[in-house]
Amino acid sequence: MKLAPIACLLLPLVPVAGVAEGTRTLEAHEHGSGTLNIAFEGNTIAMEIEAPGADIVGFEHAATTDEDRKSIEDAVSELARPMELFVLSADAGCSVVSASVEVHGDEEEEHHDDEHEHDAKDEHGDEDHNDHAEHEGEGIEHSEFHAEYELTCSDPAAVDKIEFAYFERFPNALELDVQIVSAKGAQAHEVERDEPVLDLRGMF
Amino acid sequence: MTLTRLALASLKSRWLTVGLTIFAVAMSVALYLGVEKLRTGARDSFTDTISGTDLIVGARSGSVQLLLYSVFRIGNATNNITWDSYRDIANRPEVSWAVPMSLGDSHRQFRVMGTTEAYFDRYKYRGDRSLEFAGGDRMNDLFDAVVGADVAAQLGYSVGDPIVVAHGLASFSEHADTPFRISGILAKTGTPVDRTVIVSLTAIEAIHVDWKSGAQKPGAPTSVDVIRSMNLQPKAITAIMLGAESRLKIFSLQRAINEYPQEPLLAVLPGVALQELWSIVGIAEVALIGVSAMVVVTALLGMAAMLLASLNARRREMAILRAIGAGPMTVVGLLLIEALLMAAVGAALGVGFLYLGLIVAQPILDARFGLFVPISGLSGREAATLIAVVCAAAAVSLLPAIRAYRISLADGMMVKM
C-alpha cells in the first residue's frame, strides 16, 4: 500500500472517563485516512466525518501558538459547511439542517511505554518525524476532528454522486472510507484524492 | 451491397464449415455471457444472504470473521457476549429489535443455532424474503428444533423425527439424554440457514445443564422434567442481529457498541462486511472471466484459421473476381464482410443460446444451489462485449483477407494448366 510509509497506526487515544482502571482501549488512528458515514432516510441525509488532525490541520499537538489556534478555528468553520466539502447533485435540493464539529484531542500520559514510541517512529514518514521528535519527552498526542451533519433534501434520490471538494480544502487528507446506508442496504467505498467522486447510482 | 450478396452466396456455398464456425462463435459467446450472468448472480445471491438487519454484533474481532461465524456459520467466535451486555444493547433507545444467536453446538455436520422466535421474523434474505416453512412450524416446546432444507434433505428428516444435538462441533459426546424433536422444516433459501438446526436459546442452556467444562457430570443425568423447571436464562450468547429505529441512528449505534466500555464488542454493517468478504472470495470471478474470454478468443482464431484454410479452395473464385476487375479493396472487403457476418450471426445465436440455457437452468440453479440468476436484458457491459466480439472478428480476419488478395494477384499472374 502506498499509504503505508506515512501511516501512523494504532496509537493510543481517548481513555474513557470513569473506567480508567479496568479498561484500556486503543483506537486505530491512521494519518491521511478518515471515515465518512452517510445515512439516507426519507428526505433526511445524516453524515458524519471523523478525520485525524494531521489530515485537517496538518498537526495534532495541542494548539500552542496563535497560528495553530487560527488554523484549528478555520478548519472547524470549514467543516461546519458540509455542502462545500461534499458537493451533492444540485437537483436533489439539499440544505443543511444542523452541523456540529468537535475536536477530540488527548495526550497519552500514564500508560506510556518506550516500545510504543519506537513503533510510532518506525512507521512514520519523514515529514512527521520532526513534529513528533520534539514531543518525545512528553508523550505522543493525537487529535481527531469529528463533525456531524443533518441535511434535508427535496429529492434525495437525485443524489447520484458526491464530489469531494474536501480533498481540495484539506491537502493532507488522502482518502476517506465511506460507509453508506440507504433503503437498499449498506455499502462501503473508498474515496481517494486521485478520484474524489463517489458514484451513488444504485443506492436508491 | 453486391459485395454483401457475394459474401452471403459464398458463405452459403460452404455452409457446413461456415455453420460449424458460427456455432463455435455462438457457443463461446454464450459461455462468456453465461459466466458473466452467473458471476453477477452469484455476487447478488451472496450479498443477499442477509438483508433487513442493520448491524451484527459480536465479540471484538474482525468484521469478516464476525460475518463468517454469525451469518455463514463458518469458524468460531473469539469470545461470547455476556447476557448483561446483550440486555444493555437491546434496551438502547436506538434499537428497534435485537435477535440473540448462540452458536457452538452441532448436529452431525450441521451447526446448531440457539435463538429466539424473533429470528424467523427478522431474518430476511434476497431483498425482503422471509423464512418460510416447507413443513411443520416454529419451535413451541423447549426441545423443539427447526431444521434447514439441506439438513432435512441430507439426513432424510421429516417433521416429528427425534434428533440428538452434539456438544461442541466435532465431538463424540452427544447430548443423548436430551433429544430434540423436529417441529418444522424450512423451505430452501440458498443461504446458510439451509444448513442450520435452529433451537431456542433456552434449549441451548438446557442441553448444557449436566455439562461442565466439556464433560458430562458424573451421576445420573438431570431428568427432562427437572430441566424444564429450571431457570434457563442464558449467561452468554455468540452474536446479535440488530435493527435500528431509524437508518439515521445506525452509525451512532455502531459507534456506541464499538466503544462499549464494559465489554469489547464489534458492530458491523452486514452489507459492508459482505462486500469486504466478497472482495476476498471474488478473485475467482476474475479467473472465470479470464477463462471464458480465452474461449471467445479461441473461437475467433478458429474462424480466422477457417477463412485462411478456405482460401486455397477459393483460388478460382478469387481469380475470377480479380479477372472481372475487382480491386484489392474489394477482395479484402469481401473477406471482412464474411467474417463480420459470421461473427454477428454467431453473437446473435450465442445470445439465443444464453437465454435458452438460462430458462432451462434457472429453476435448477435456484433449487439446487440457491443461486438465483435473474433473466434480465443484456447489460451495457454485455452489449459492449458483443460489439467487441464482432470488431475482433474483423480484426482477426484481416490476415486472411490480405492473404486472399495477395494469392489472388499471384494466381492471376500465373499461367496454369
Determine the residue among B55, B269, B276, B278 to mutate to test chain A binding: the one whose Cβ has the most chain A Cβ atoms within 10 Å: B269
pLDDT tens digits along B330-342: 888 888 898 899 9
Q: What is the pLDDT of residue B257?
A: 94
What span, in angstroms and rounded, lies between the C-alpha atoms of B198 and B182? 10
Q: What is the pLDDT of residue B412?
A: 57
pLDDT band for position B49 (cuts 50, 70, 90): confident
Determine the residue among B51, B258, B272 to mutate to test chain A binding: the one whose Cβ has the most chain A Cβ atoms within 10 Å: B272
The residues pairing with A75 across neighbouring beta strands, listed in sequence order, are none
Query: What residues of B are in contact with residue A182 (Cβ under 8 Å)?
Result: 247
Give the chain A residue nearest B264 (alpha carbons): A25
Count the neighbouring beta carbons within 10 Å of the beta carbon of residue B411. 15
Q: What is the mean pLDDT of residues B38-58?
A: 87
Answer whether A41 sits within 8 Å of B248, measured CB to CB.
yes
pLDDT tens digits along B206-234: 877 766 555 566 555 666 677 777 777 88
Nearest Cβ partner for B272 among A16, A182, A186: A186
Average pLDDT, chain B: 85
Lowest mean pLDDT among A185-199, B3-17, B117-131, B401-415: B401-415
Per DSSP, A195 falls in state B
Q: What is the pLDDT of residue B352?
A: 94
- Indicate the pTM of the whole model: 0.74
Chains A, B: CB pairs < 8 Å? 53
Query: What residues of B are in contact with residue A187 (Cβ under 8 Å)?
Result: 271-272, 275
Query: What residues of A are in contact with residue B259 (Cβ under 8 Å)?
Result: 16, 25
Determine the residue among A45, A179, A180, A204 to mutate to test chain B binding: the one whose Cβ has the most chain B Cβ atoms within 10 Å: A179
Q: What is the pLDDT of residue B364?
A: 86
Q: What is the pLDDT of residue B85?
A: 94
Opening angle at CA B11, ends B5 and B14, nearest 5: 145
Query: What residues of A are in contact with residue B53 (Cβ under 8 Å)?
Result: none
pLDDT band for position B411 (cuts 50, 70, 90): low
pLDDT tens digits along B188-206: 888 899 999 999 998 888 8
Q: What is the mean pLDDT of residues B112-120?
A: 92
Query: What residues of A are in contact with residue B276 (Cβ under 8 Å)?
Result: 188
User: Residues B157, B147: contact at Cβ < 8 Å?
Assistant: yes
Determine the residue among B43, B241, B248 to mutate to test chain A binding: the one whose Cβ has the most chain A Cβ atoms within 10 Å: B248
pLDDT tens digits along B62-110: 899 999 999 988 888 888 999 999 999 999 999 999 999 999 888 888 8
Sketch the domain layout of chain B as residue ranges: 2-46+283-413, 55-268
Query: What residues of B are in contact with residue A183 (Cβ under 8 Å)?
Result: 247
Q: How many domains does chain A have?
A: 1
Q: What is the pLDDT of residue B311?
A: 82
Low-confidence residues of chain A: pLDDT under 70: 1-23, 106-141
Nearest Cβ partner for A181 among B247, B259, B261: B247
3-state secondary structure of B312: helix
Q: What is the pLDDT of residue B168?
A: 57
Among B170, B64, B247, which Cα is nearest to A43's? B247
Answer whether A39 sits within 8 Å of B250, measured CB to CB.
yes
Query: What residues of B are in contact with residue A177 (Cβ under 8 Å)?
Result: none
Statement: residue B397 has pLDDT above 50: yes
Nearest Cβ partner for B251 among A16, A39, A182: A39
Query: What residues of A are in contact with residue B275 (Cβ under 8 Å)?
Result: 187-188
Q: How far is A24 from chain B (nearest CA, A)?
A: 9
Answer whether A16 sits within 8 Å of B261, measured CB to CB.
yes
Q: How far is A136 from chain B (nearest CA, A)?
A: 28
Query: Is residue A204 domain-resident?
Result: no
Identify the domain containing residue A91 by its residue range: 4-199
The residues pairing with B99 across neighbouring beta strands, listed in sequence order, are B241
Mention every residue, 6+ apart, whose C-beta is less than 8 A from residue B14: B310
pLDDT tens digits along B144-176: 999 999 999 989 999 988 888 766 554 445 556
Which cell is B376 given?
434480465
pLDDT band for position B44 (cuts 50, 70, 90): confident
- Long-range interactions of A122-128: CB distance < 8 A, separation 24+: A123/A7, A123/A8, A123/A9, A124/A6, A124/A8, A125/A5, A125/A6, A127/A6, A128/A6, A128/A8, A128/A31, A128/A54
pLDDT tens digits along B339-394: 899 999 999 999 999 999 999 998 888 777 777 788 888 888 889 989 999 999 88
Answer whether A39 sits within 8 Å of B271, measured CB to CB.
no
Nearest Cβ partner for B272 among A39, A41, A187: A187
Nearest Cβ partner for A186 among B248, B261, B269: B269
The number of helices, as runs of H, and strands, as runs of E, in chain B is 14, 16
